Structure 1
Amino acid sequence: MVAEDAPLEYMEIDFRSPAETDVVVRVEATPFCVTDWLGVHGSLGIAARGILPTVLGHAAVGEVIEVGADVTRVRAGDRVLVPATPECGRCRWCARGRMDQCVELFAPPAVIGSTTDGVSVTAYGNVGSYADVVVVREIGVFAVRSGLPAEWLSMIGCGICSGVGAVLNVAQVRPGSSVAIIGCGQVGLWMVQGARLAGADRIIAADPDESRRSSALQLGATDVIDSGAVDVVGCIKDLTAGIGVDYGFDAGGTSGAVVDAFRATSLAGVVVLTSLESTSATVTLPLFDLALRGRDVRSAQSGRTSFTRDIPLYTRWLETGQLDAAAMLGSRYRLGDVNGALDAAGRRTELTPMIVN
């Protein structure tokens, strides 16, 4: 990315040599996330941070080809996942089991190399996976012991951790409960699958797109709502005898989806937020309900996943078919056609556009 509101540029980069705690990974597959579409179009303030040009992409599976002298987690030849959320293992949040808030999460993007004319290039989010090769910190690399397709495994680092993790780790949905999911993009549909795994009795999914509502039913939703045509909250209340759901999930990418998820949740219910409309977006929620009606509002950065802990679990569910990755996979794009993936994400024509090398 060299400028906001402009196509991504495909160019050669001279990568720097790895530092003592760096790992060099040859990328096999990386999912294109709508978050990067937001970044390209200015919602994340990338240009204002003075880090351009930068390589986008924040989840990948690949093979380690080189390690720094002090690296102990992985070695050359290992298959690894590179997600956006590191685990330093030393900060107060990692020590408390909240690896999703590791102090290194929003560290300034590292310079990974330079253009052929000498301009420094950064890795956005300290990953920069829309590339043939990434140079990343050891704390952001996790071994994956599975022969599954790289496209499937790469989704652990983005949609699966965010969606399934929101259901199982953040909300901790109980068997027999009711769930509403506002938005059926890749995160929302992974939430549907997570709710099915958790044993939810009623899974209500809302989205304006007919094909995504159809996918929700295929993946485990019991009811779907056309959020572009009807009052979503009213429909959810009608489906739950006026009570609302036990768990409301925002996956719509808008402030409005946050409000709908909150209003659709019952008294003493749990509301889980994942949307990132922009870095400056705000929402207004009724203080009476927040203070006195028992709504428990929780944030869900990466689904509070610990990749050290959860990769084997997510991998097993993919291997056994309990999580359906094939239904989530969009078209495959070569790196030189990254703007095709960008366009597909922006037009919502694919759930998970996938860049493969």
Structure 2
Amino acid sequence: MPQQVQGVIAPGKNEPVRVETIVIPDPGPGEAVVKIQACGVCHTDLHYKQGGINDEFPFLLGHEAAGVVESVGEGVTDVAPGDFVILNWRAVCGQCRACLRGRPWYCFDTHNAEQKMTLLDGTELSPALGIGAFAEKTLVASGQCTKVDPEVSPAVAGLLGCGVMAGIGAAINTGQVGRGDSVAVIGCGGVGDAAIAGARLAGAAKIIAVDIDDRKLETAKKMGATHTVNSRSDDPVEAIRALTDGNGADVVIEAVGRPETYQQAFYARDLAGTVVLVGVPTPDMKLELPLLDVFGRGGSLKSSWYGDCLPSRDFPMLVDLHQQGRLDLAAFVTETIGLGDIEQAFARMHDGDVLRSVVVF
């Protein structure tokens, strides 16, 4: 029978979020109901609230989550009730041209649950990134559930569901940072700091953190940055070049999503270097670059989709690295909060006071 749980919705553009009763249907074919144990407060959730993603209000917010599978629908074989899972928002189809070419991390037909969760009056909810995990339970496609070691803390495991995976993957998967490389990361929020951690994991020799907030730069050092640049007072392009023998960095990761910072990344890389865009721009933003410069500098200009990750491959690996003490996921958790504290968490995020707030159920 359908269940009623408490969840946080964004009722309309820029309206305060509120806790409502959510109706969760029984899982249908290929679906699973997951009891949420923890869910991070990601900037993407704030984008949803602000109408920056689309206008399909009301949204059931939350997507950086971990929990336990409670029930599954017909035909589900990859997970079973009792499995501890991290939720992902790119369940690969296995049949599109990317999957059939052996590149499932680019899957062009990712999917979510077919059924809709609703309010008590029947109003259909749009789950953030197809997940909707600021709720005691949620309904997802079974392919959105990735089993990992249940010994890991849900509060840190859930962060791999979005921001931390996006940043680490931007460095390792998309940017293909190698041993001895120089790396610059522009924007040191959760995703940028994760890119720094990823560059350190990959063996980068020099990791340059760029931000306008000295507090964030101090945190970036703890994540593995070897040098910092405050771009409010210093030209980041010149600073990065000065720190790389005048050449520019081998890989520059843009974790802001703005034309100004992308141009900085473009000119701060070495000849034949790589720029990775992992920051999410808004629909109105435009980029203008001299085409001759694009040609003359060579190299690669890449966009990183979810860190180009394959959850079934990357989530268990990163959990293992965390348990071995080689990846400090707990360092990303600034505070744990309750379901009724999300509006205040958005304010602290906007003011740069937290790296991640995590709702713990």
TM-score (norm 1): 0.94
- Report the Cα distance in structure 1 between the residues aligned to 2:106 and 2:286, rounded to whole angstroms: 21
Shift of 1:108: 8.1
**Helix, strand or coil: the match of 1:191?**
helix
Partner residue, 1:148: 152
Equivalent-residue separation in structure 2 for 1:99 and 1:227 (angstroms): 37
More divergent stretch after superposition (109-118 vs 327-336): 109-118
Q: Deviations over 1:259-295 (max 9, x none)?
A: 1111100110011001113133222223112223213
| Equivalent position amino acid for 2:235 in 1 | D
Conserved? CA contact 2:183–2:206, under 8 Å? yes
CA contact (8 A) 1:58 1:125 kept: yes
Q: Is 1:52 matched with 2:61?
A: no
1:207 pairs with 2:216? no
Query: What is the letter of the counterpart of residue 344 of structure 2?
Result: G
CA contact (8 A) 2:182 2:250 kept: yes
Please list, as runs of the form range in 1=range in 2, the aligned pairs for 1:13-32 lying within 5 A after superposition. Answer: 13-32=22-41
Aligned length: 352
Q: Is the 8 A contact 1:333 1:340 kept in 2?
A: no
Change (3 A) 1:108 1:153: closer
CA contact (8 A) 1:110 1:126 kept: no
1:94 aligns with 2:94: no
* Aligned pairs (5 A) from 1:248-259: 248-259=252-263
Contact 1:26–1:63 at 8 Å: present in 2 too?
yes
Report the CA distance between 1:5 and its aligned residue: 0.9
The answer for the alignment partner of 1:262 in structure 2 is 266
SS in 1 for 2:270: strand
SS state of the match for residue 175, structure 1? coil
Match of 1:80 in 2: 85
- SS of the equivalent of 2:183 reads strand
Against the structure 1 CA distance between its residues 98 and 284, is the aligned structure 2 distance closer, same or farther, given a 3 Å change threshold?
A: farther
Secondary structure at the counterpart of residue 154 of structure 1: helix
C-alpha displacement of 1:169:
0.8
Q: 1:106-128 CA distances to partner (integer Å, 9 max, x unpaired)?
A: x6885532212222223232111
Correspondence 1:63 to 2:68: yes
Q: Does the 8 Å CA contact 2:25/2:117 hold for their aligned counterparts?
A: yes
Structure-2 separation of matches of 1:99 and 1:256:
32
**Offset of residue 222 of structure 1:** 1.0
Number of the residue aligned with 1:7: 16
Is 2:44 the partner of 1:39? no
Give, in whole Å, the separation in 2 of the partners of 1:221 and 1:118. Answer: 49
Is the 1:206–1:232 Cα contact (8 Å) retained in structure 2?
A: yes
Residue 225 of structure 1 aligns with which residue? 229
8 A contact 1:2–1:54 mirrored in 2: yes
Task: For residue 58 of structure 1, report the CA deviation from its aligned partner.
Answer: 2.1
Distance 2:233 2:25 in 1: 52
SS of the residue corresponding to residue 282 of structure 1 reads coil
**AA at the equivalent of 1:164:** I
Residue 240 of structure 1 and its aligned partner are, at CA, apart by 1.6
1:96-245 equivalent positions in 2, closer than 5 A: 96-105=101-110, 111-245=115-249
Query: Is the 1:289–1:295 contact (alpha carbons within 8 Å) kept by the matching residues of 2?
Result: no
Post-superposition CA distance 1:42-67 (Å, at most 9, x none):
222x21xxx32121222210000010
What is the TM-score normalised by the length of structure 2? 0.93
Letter in 2 for 1:224: T
Counterpart check, 1:312 vs 2:321: no
- Structure 2 unaligned spans of 5+: 1-9
Q: 1:169 to 1:27 in 2, by over 3 A?
A: same
Partner of 1:280: 284
Which whole-Å CA distance do the structure 1 matches of 2:42 and 2:260 have between them?
A: 20
Which blocks of at least 5 consecutive residues in structure 1 are unaligned? none
1:342 & 1:111 partners in 2: Cα distance?
Answer: 29
Task: Answer yes or no: is the 8 Å Cα contact 1:109–1:125 preserved in 2.
Answer: no
Percent identity over paired residues:
33
Q: Is the 8 A contact 1:29 1:355 kept in 2?
A: yes
Q: CA separation in 1, counterparts of 2:312 and 2:112? A: 23
Question: Secondary structure of the residue that 2:252 maps to in structure 1?
Answer: strand
Could you give the per-residue CA deviations for residues 85-141 of structure 1, whole angstroms, max 9, x where no partner exists?
212222222223433332334x68855322122222232321111111110011211
Separation in structure 2 between the aligned mates of residue 84 and residue 59 of structure 1, nearest angstrom:
9
* Structure 2 counterpart SS, 1:94: helix
Residues 53 and 122 in structure 1, CA contact (< 8 A), matched pair in contact too: yes
Match of residue 275, structure 2, among 271, 276, 281: 271
Distance (whole Å) between structure 1 residues aligned to residue 209 and residue 256 of structure 2 = 11
